[in-house]
Structure 1
Amino acid sequence: MPPGSRLPKSSGRLDPLAAVRAPQDPDCDVYLTGTVFLDIIFTGLDAAPVRGTESWARGMGSSPGGVANMATALARLGLRTSLAAEFGDDMYGDYCREELELGEGIDLSMSHTVPGWHSPVTVSMAYEGERTMVSHGHETPPADRVPEHAREGPPPARACVASLVPDERQDWIATAADQGSRVFADVGWDDTGRWELDALRGLEHCEAFLPNAVEAMRYTRTDCPRAAAHKLAERVPLAVVTMGAEGAYAVDGRTGEDAEVPAIRVPALDTTGAGDVFVAGFVTGTLAGWPLADRLACAGLTAALSVQEFGGSLSAPGWVEIAAWYQHVRSYDDQDPTALRQRYGFLDGLLPGCARAWPLRRAVPTIGFRA
């Protein structure tokens, strides 16, 4: 997007891709699929629960979780997001579906409700900068209980986000790539302990691979995140390694370009979903055609804003939150405001004026209230 241009509104949201859209483009910006959990987050605990005692939390929130964290982060950044997921045939499932479809504007036409299936649930307890989670769920519905429309494969989309699992075959990734979608992938902990890149089926179809530093070093048998990124760039066009408090480092294997952006120092309350928000920010910048360093900066900023709030999808920032932070940082900040303004100067031409005070707080939703 040219410097100085503003993001126009589309259906009440800012559209970061307005400058690059064309009539022949697909309606969907990003497609993803996975399991939606109901997340229940307890906050305000002074310490970890002790066995045999009862602990009271000062706060509680509920929200769609699991793959919904990523879908929400993408949608709040203005991307037209399509999610294919099964929803439980219970009140939890109805709540999650309503929040995603009506509250976040996510396209759920590829999703479906499974009769008699209970929604997976995760209870998260945040205390002392840490989190403890307990999850419960039933087996994924068998294929013969999935409607025909949900078996058709991914729709045409600018991009897809996938979560790779060792030895797990996900045929839709190849289908999406063949249709012209740019595939961005992250990865979870390898429970097999092998840490073999060849076991990540679908990696060969990915444009970008975004592991954290520990994952990247284990997969590449290196002892440095930056060295790991260079090794990964031999396997994928773009390797991005997140390094926690050190920021993020990326290597473009096609051009040899690399970029590193330091992390923004913030008081972290809950890191749930921060990785998803980072990926969403990076995808947004990539689809908008920004330079590599600006994409890393956008991803790191959105992740930093998210960890200052509790919950996964609850904490995903939108452009209003980003604009409020940038307005604040231009006036005063305790961590070298000049350097921050220089690093995030690309936001000058992107953000609308923001009259809301910093810090912003989203309302914490809960189940039970009806209009």
Structure 2
Amino acid sequence: MLDPLAALRTPDDPPCDVYLTGSVFLDIIFTGLDSAPVRGTESWARGMGSSPGGVANMATALARLGLRTSLAAAFGDDKYGEYCWESLEHGEGIDLSLSRTVPGWHSPVTVSMAYEGERTMVTHGHEAPPEESAPCDPPLARACVAALRPGEGQGWIAAAARRGSRVFADVGWDETGRWDPGDLADLEHCEAFLPNAEEAMRYTRTDCPRAAARRLAEKVPLAVVTMGSEGACAVDGGSGENAEVPAVAVEALDPTGAGDVFVAGFVTGTLAGWPLADRLAFGCLTAALSVQEFGGSLSAPGWAEVAAWWQHVRSFDDQGRAALRRYAFLDALLPGPARPWPLRRAVPTIGFRRV
């Protein structure tokens, strides 16, 4: 597998490149719906896939880009949990030594319905019971990715920063509707914050993603705002550098997990020491490639797919020539396919019986 950090590795490196913790869901995705389901009717979907979801989306995306990834999560001891564990550990090479299987706890499940470029989700699950002897500190790692929880501090984030990890944070939808900037206190321990445009504007009380990025850069060294079909923008609060890149135009099948894949691409470029604009562009590219497949985790691209896309656009028309200029940095990274092809993909069933 292509190692984007090969030139930077030393014998004194920490055992993993990126550490994550969070909840793993079983995602069941329906696509090919002509419209949102209507109450009292039955809708038939033209496509369906199942895959590990939740924090597994980002863990898989990081691992497929060649980063040594460690995940701490709870797994149910049902068939869903078994499938998710096997997919992540054996299928993707993710280190699950800090994860656990919880007896008698069923895996949370999310059903995602994609239509008209949007998605609607229904989730069922319960919080996993706490560990009796939970570790106080996260493991040594080059970086950590944290999902901030509005109004809820997470002590491990500060601990990771104290141990020298570079902390990248995103945030979920604030169900309380408060959107209180004070709820993001853990940003003081983070190197970068990567919300989407709607989240960024609500927290900053602005009406423009670019203005939101500038406001957020007052709270965190690097503010990155994803803007969907418009691409992404970023403001470096230290140097004052601004960057913006357009999205890569693709025909989207399922947007599940695209934001997680963007973060994985951006983290990869950051750890490799790329310029800010290249990091944004790579995040946009990996996210664009992911939405062409079912599911959040198993839709994440590997280097072979990045290389295939690059080879394709180099022989194309005006769009290809524009991509050549923006993505010329890929030439030095892509000696050839770096992962078995094709990648494992989401399928309608959890697993087939072995004969």
Q: Same fold judged by TM-score > 0.5? A: yes
Matched, 1:55 2:43: yes
Matched, 1:78 2:62: no
- What pairs up with 1:157-172 in 2 under 5 angstroms? 157-172=141-156
1:320 is aligned, of 279, 304, 309, to 304
For 1:126, the equivalent position in structure 2 comes to: 114
Q: Is the 8 A contact 1:327 1:354 kept in 2?
A: no
Q: What secondary structure, in the 3-state scheme, does the structure 2 residue paired with 1:109 have?
A: coil
For 1:344, the equivalent position in structure 2 comes to: 327
Which has the larger displacement, 116-125 or 49-58? 49-58
Q: What secondary structure, in the 3-state scheme, does the structure 1 residue paired with 2:298 have?
A: helix
Distance 1:361 1:33, change over 3 A: closer
Q: Match for 1:212: what amino acid? A: N
For 2:180, the equivalent position in structure 1 comes to: 196
- What pairs up with 1:1-371 in 2 under 5 angstroms? 13-141=1-129, 143=130, 146=131, 148=133, 150-333=134-317, 335-354=318-337, 363-365=345-347, 366-371=349-354
Which has the larger displacement, 239-248 or 51-60? 51-60
CA distance in 2, matches of 1:15, 1:176: 24
CA distance in 1, matches of 2:233, 2:158: 27
Query: How high is the TM-score relative to the length of structure 2?
Result: 0.94
User: How far is 1:354 from its partner?
Assistant: 4.7
Unaligned runs of 5+ in 2: none
For 1:8, the equivalent position in structure 2 comes to: none
For 1:10, the equivalent position in structure 2 comes to: none
Which has the larger displacement, 58-67 or 113-122? 58-67
For 1:6, the equivalent position in structure 2 comes to: none
User: How far is 1:258 from its partner?
Assistant: 1.3
Q: Is the 8 A contact 1:164 1:201 kept in 2?
A: no
Distance 1:222 1:43, change over 3 A: closer
Q: What secondary structure, in the 3-state scheme, does the structure 2 residue paired with 1:96 have?
A: helix
Q: Is the 8 A contact 2:294 2:345 kept in 1?
A: no
Q: What secondary structure, in the 3-state scheme, does the structure 1 residue paired with 2:224 have?
A: strand
Query: How high is the TM-score relative to the length of structure 1?
Result: 0.90
Unaligned runs of 5+ in 1: 1-12
Aligned length: 352
CA distance in 1, matches of 2:323, 2:219: 33
User: How far is 1:192 from its partner?
Assistant: 2.4
Q: Match for 2:240: what amino acid? A: G
User: How far is 1:147 from its partner?
Assistant: 5.3
Q: Is the 8 A contact 2:278 2:329 kept in 1?
A: yes
Q: Is the 8 A contact 2:258 2:287 kept in 1?
A: yes
| CA shift digits 1:287-331 (9 cap, x unpaired) | 000011110010010011111222111211111111100000001
User: How far is 1:233 from its partner?
Assistant: 1.0
User: How far is 1:361 from its partner?
Assistant: 7.7
Provide the alpha-carbon RMSD of the alignment. Answer: 1.9
User: How far is 1:339 from its partner?
Assistant: 1.6
| CA shift digits 1:21-53 (9 cap, x unpaired) | 111110110001000001111233344334334
